[in-house]
Amino acid sequence: MKLLPKWFKSNRKMLPALLLATTAVPAMSPTPASADVPNPNGGNTLYYADEFNENAINGNDWMYRDAGPYSKGYNKKENVRESDGVLHIDMKKEQINGQWYYTCGGIVTKKMFGYGYYETKAKLFNATTGLHPAFWSMGLSNHLASNNITALSAEIAAGNLPYYNQVTEIDGFEANSADPTLNIGTVTHIPGYAGPRKGFNVQTPDSWHVYGYDWSPTAIKFYVDGALVHLIDLTTTPQPFSPANFWLTALVGDTVADDSKLPGDTQFDYFRYYTKNYSGANMIGNAAMEYTPKETTRGYTDQDTPSWIETGGKTASFMTAQDAHSGVRALKHASSSSYQVTTKQNLNGIANGTYQLSAWVKSSGGQTQARMSVSNYGGTEQYVDIPAASTWTQVTIDNVQVTNGLATVAFTSNADSTQWLLVDDVSFSDVLTPPEKEFVHEAEILPTTVSTGDTQANYKDSTTGTSFNGLTSNGIGDFVEYTVNVPQPGTYTVYARNRVAPSKGAYQLSVNGTNLGSTVDQYATTAGFTESKIGTVTFGTTGSQAFRFTVTGNNAASSGYDLAYDSIKLVKNDYEVESLPVSVSTGDSQSNYTDTAAGVTFNNLTSNASGDYVDYTLNVLQPGTYTVFVHSRVAANKGIYQLSVNGTNVGSPIDQYAVASGHAGRSLGTVTFSAAGNQTFRFTVAGKNAASSRYDLGFDYISLVKNN
C-alpha cells in the first residue's frame, strides 16, 4: 500500500527535542535501545513517504542523479526504476559513445527537510566491489547541476532551492560493496566545523535491514534495525544547521573486481520522513549569516548566501563582513542601481503550531519597500515594514499559526542605489505557551481501596448533578485510598473537593504514607461541596501515588464517620523567581516588585549594559530532558536576554520590551540534566530594543516540563 507519496499536511505532535549525552555503542555489538528508538506512532508525525509502489519515479518529488562521467562512471536516470514495490538502482557495465563505462544512479528530493526522523529499508548490492550505495541528506549547490543533477538548474532558477546549500551532510550510511562496514555520521561543508563519523559492521548488508537517523537540535542518532549504533551530541560537537535535500543513491566509487557479477542492484523498499515539535528551536538555516562556502575553487565567494534563496535582482543580495549584529557577517541588500530583490527560505516538514518570526535589522530607510514577511503557512501572508534604523533593531511577527507544515520566510527590498538593508540573526521558532499546571482527578473514576469491613460507592447529587465517591465508615481509623497518576515530578499544592453533609466525619490526608496538612471536617448541616487546600507535596518521580484519607473523628453534631470526595486537584508549583537563590553581575542589583494590577510578584535585574546577568539556582528533582518555559515581566524599560543553563545557551534571544507593562510566557527550548540537584539558570543581557529606555530584565517564574 502506498502511504503518502506527496508533500502533505502534518498533524502537530508535542514531542520536544531529545538530548542524550551518551557515547556511541560499540560497532560490533549494537545494543537495542527500545526506549530510545523513534516511535512514529508515539510522538513523530509522518510528513512524507514514498513506498515505491508505482511503475515510475514520482517526478514531482524527486530529481535524478543523471550526469557523467562522475567518480568512476556515469549516473543515469535509466538505471533507477520502480518494480515489485521496490526502488532499484542498477549497476551495469555498458557502452557510452563507443567506450565501456560502469553506470549507476540515484534520486534526490526537490524539497528540503530539516530536523526529524529519516528511515529506509534497504538491501545492498554486495556481489563484487565497486558500488557505493548511500542513504543521506545534503543540501544542493549550483555546481552540482553540471555533473550530478541535471534538473537542479531549473529548481534554482525557479526560486525553489538556494544557489549554495552544502552545509552539513548526514550519512545514514555510506557503504562499499563487498565490505560489511558502513560509514555513518556527518561531513561538514562549512569551514570551521568537524564532521564526526564512525564505522559500523553489518554482517549481511545484502539482506534487508532498516536504517534510520533522528536529527534534533541537540543530537543526531543513528539506528540499524532498531538499535542505536552511533550518537553525535550537538551540544558538545556542534554541526551547522540548514534544511537539506534527501538522497537515495548508488555510485560507482571503486574498482570493480568481477564484471561477471553485473548487472546488479541496490534496493530500497521505502523512504519515510517524520517530523515532530522542537519547542523553541530555530527552523532557519544559516540564521546568523555566518556560513561561508567551502568550495571557493568552484567560483563561490564570501558574498554568496548559503541556505538562502534569492529571486529578482540576485546581485543585490549578498553577505557582508562590514557590519553585523552578532558574529562577523550579515545579509545585505544594496546595489549601484535601482533594484528589487527577495531573499527567502522555504521551510518544509515543520510541526504545526504557533510560531514567532524575528530578525535584527538596520536600514537606510526611504525604500519603496523594505519588508520581512512569512507566507505559505496555511494563513494570510503576514509582514512588517522595516523602518529606517541606524542601529541594530529587532523586528518581530507574532502568532504565525502554521497549519500545513510549511512556511516561507522572506526579506524583500525595492529600492534605489542610495538605499540599503542589513539583516542578521533571523529566528522562526515555535513559541509554545506554558502547559497546564492544574491537574484535576475525579475521585469517582480513580482506582480505590478501603479499609477492611468498609465499602465505597459512587453517588450523584441530584441538585447539582455532581458525581462523587463516598466511603461508608464505621469509625476512627477507617480509610479510603485513591491512586493518582502524577504526570510530572515536582512540587504540588493539593486541594480536595469535599462532599459535606450531616453524616460526614473528619479526615487526615497522607500521601505515600506521609501526613499532609491538618485535619479537615466534612460535617455540614446542609449537603453540598467545599474545597480545602491541604498542603504541598513533592514527587521525585512520575506515576502512581497513594492518597489516603483516614477518619480521625467526627463533629459532635455528625451522625456518622463517612467521607466523600468529588475530586483531588494538584496544582504544580513553578519555580517562583522571587524566592530562588539569586546572584547578579558586578555593579548591578536585583529586587522583588509587585504588579498590583495583576497581583504578580516578580524579580527585576537593574542592568547597565549588554553582558550583565542574573543567575537563579533551581533544584531539579530528577535527571532527564525538560522543556523550559519562562514567564517574563515586559515593559518599556526592558532589554533582551539570552538564557544559558549550566553555561550552555538555550533557545534564542528574547526581547522583554513592550509599550505597555505586563507579563508574557513562552518556551525557550530543551535542556538535559544528567543528575538531580542545583542547576544554574543565567539570563544575560544581549541588547535592547531601540525604543527601550533601559537594559533591565524581569522574571516571574520558570517552569520545567519533563519530556522523558
| CA 566 – CA 228 distance, rounded (Å) | 47
| CA 377 – CA 283 distance, rounded (Å) | 13
Residue range 613-669, pLDDT digits in tens: 999 999 998 888 888 989 999 999 999 999 999 999 988 789 999 888 988 888 887
Percentage of the chain beyond pLDDT 90 is 69
Query: Where are the extended beta strands (E) located within 313-368?
Result: 317-320, 330-333, 339-348, 353-363
Rounded to the nearest 5°, which phi and psi values hold at 678? -70, 135
According to the model, what pLDDT value does residue 565 have? 98
Q: Which range has the worst mean pLDDT, 31-45, 525-539, 608-622?
A: 31-45
Using pLDDT thresholds of 50, 70 and 90, give the confidence band for residue 596: confident
In the predicted model, is pLDDT for residue 339 greater than 50? yes
According to the model, what pLDDT value does residue 665 have? 81
Q: Which helix (H) or strand (E) holds 506?
A: strand 506-511
* Torsion of Cα atoms, 664 then 668 then 674 then 675, to 10°: -10
Long-range (24+ apart) CB contacts under 8 A made by 671-674 are 671/19, 671/625, 671/626, 671/628, 671/645, 672/19, 672/20, 672/21, 672/218, 672/623, 672/624, 672/625, 672/626, 673/620, 673/623, 673/624, 673/626, 674/21, 674/623
If we measure between CA atoms, which residue out of 189, 195, 235, 193 comes closest to residue 216?
235
β-sheet bridge partners, residue 672? 625
- Tell which wins on pLDDT, 283 or 32: 283
- Arithmetic mean of pLDDT, 424-435: 81
Q: Which residues of 163-174 are buried (b: 16+ CB within 10 A; e: fewer)?
A: bbbbbbbbbbbb
In degrees, rounded to 5, the angle at the alpha carbon of residue 222 between the alpha carbons of residues 218 and 228 is 105
According to the model, what pLDDT value does residue 34 have? 33
Q: Which domains does the chain have, with CATH numbers?
A: 31-275 (2.60.120.200), 296-430 (2.60.120.260), 438-572 (2.60.120.260), 575-706 (2.60.120.260)
In the predicted model, is pLDDT for residue 4 greater than 80? no
β-sheet bridge partners, residue 412? 342, 371
**What value does the mean pLDDT of the chain take?**
89
**Cell numbers 519533563 label which residue?**
706
| CA 512 – CA 515 distance, rounded (Å) | 9
Percentage of the chain beyond pLDDT 70 is 93
Using pLDDT thresholds of 50, 70 and 90, give the confidence band for residue 28: very low
Residue range 365-396, pLDDT digits in tens: 999 999 999 999 999 999 999 999 999 988 88
Using pLDDT thresholds of 50, 70 and 90, give the confidence band for residue 17: very low
- Tell which wins on pLDDT, 22 or 548: 548
| CA 186 – CA 196 distance, rounded (Å) | 6
Rounded to the nearest 5°, which phi and psi values hold at 144? -75, -15
Three-class secondary structure of residue 357 per DSSP: strand
In the predicted model, is pLDDT for residue 594 greater than 60? yes
- On whether the CB atoms of residues 67 and 148 are closer than 8 A, the answer is yes
Rounded to the nearest 5°, which phi and psi values hold at 577? -60, -35
Contacts for 588 with CB less than 8 Å, ≥ 6 apart:
605, 606, 607, 608, 612, 614
- Arithmetic mean of pLDDT, 493-518: 97
| CA 117 – CA 115 distance, rounded (Å) | 7
- On whether the CB atoms of residues 421 and 438 are closer than 8 A, the answer is no
| CA 397 – CA 480 distance, rounded (Å) | 53
| CA 374 – CA 491 distance, rounded (Å) | 40
Three-class secondary structure of residue 557 per DSSP: coil
- Which string of DSSP letters, residue by residue, matches 227-243? EEEEEEETTTS------
Is the peptide bond preceding residue 435 cis, with omega within 30 degrees of 0?
Answer: no
According to the model, what pLDDT value does residue 37 have? 42
**Cell numbers 522562526 label which residue?**
428
- Tell which wins on pLDDT, 701 or 38: 701
- Arithmetic mean of pLDDT, 156-178: 95
In the predicted model, is pLDDT for residue 704 greater than 50? yes
Burial of 129: CB neighbours in 10 Å, binned 0-12, 13-18, 19+: middle
If we measure between CA atoms, which residue out of 307, 330, 315, 316 comes closest to residue 163?
307
| CA 615 – CA 334 distance, rounded (Å) | 42
According to the model, what pLDDT value does residue 312 have? 97
If we measure between CA atoms, which residue out of 15, 36, 630 comes closest to residue 278?
15
Residue range 109-137, pLDDT digits in tens: 999 999 999 999 999 999 999 999 999 99
Is the peptide bond preceding residue 16 cis, with omega within 30 degrees of 0?
Answer: no
According to the model, what pLDDT value does residue 58 have? 96
In the predicted model, is pLDDT for residue 462 greater than 70? yes
- On whether the CB atoms of residues 208 and 122 are closer than 8 A, the answer is yes
- For residue 660, the tally of other CB atoms under 10 A from its CB is 7
Residue range 233-287, pLDDT digits in tens: 887 788 999 999 999 999 988 889 899 999 999 999 999 999 988 877 899 999 9
In the predicted model, is pLDDT for residue 519 greater than 60? yes
Residue range 561-591, pLDDT digits in tens: 999 999 999 988 789 899 999 999 999 999 9
**Grid cell at residue 149:** 543533477
According to the model, what pLDDT value does residue 647 have? 95
- On whether the CB atoms of residues 685 and 640 are closer than 8 A, the answer is yes
Residue range 534-548, pLDDT digits in tens: 998 988 888 899 999
User: What would you measure as the largest C-alpha separation in the chain, in angstroms?
Assistant: 110
**Grid cell at residue 421:** 538593508
In the predicted model, is pLDDT for residue 190 greater than 90? no
Residue range 389-423, pLDDT digits in tens: 999 988 889 889 999 999 999 999 999 999 999 99
According to the model, what pLDDT value does residue 57 have? 96
Residue range 74-108, pLDDT digits in tens: 999 999 999 999 999 999 999 998 999 999 999 99
In the predicted model, is pLDDT for residue 437 greater than 80? no
According to the model, what pLDDT value does residue 436 have? 62
In the predicted model, is pLDDT for residue 2 greater than 50? no
- On whether the CB atoms of residues 246 and 263 are closer than 8 A, the answer is no
Query: Where are the extended beta strands (E) located within 67-147?
Result: 67-70, 73-75, 80-83, 86-96, 99-109, 116-123, 131-138
Three-class secondary structure of residue 440 per DSSP: strand
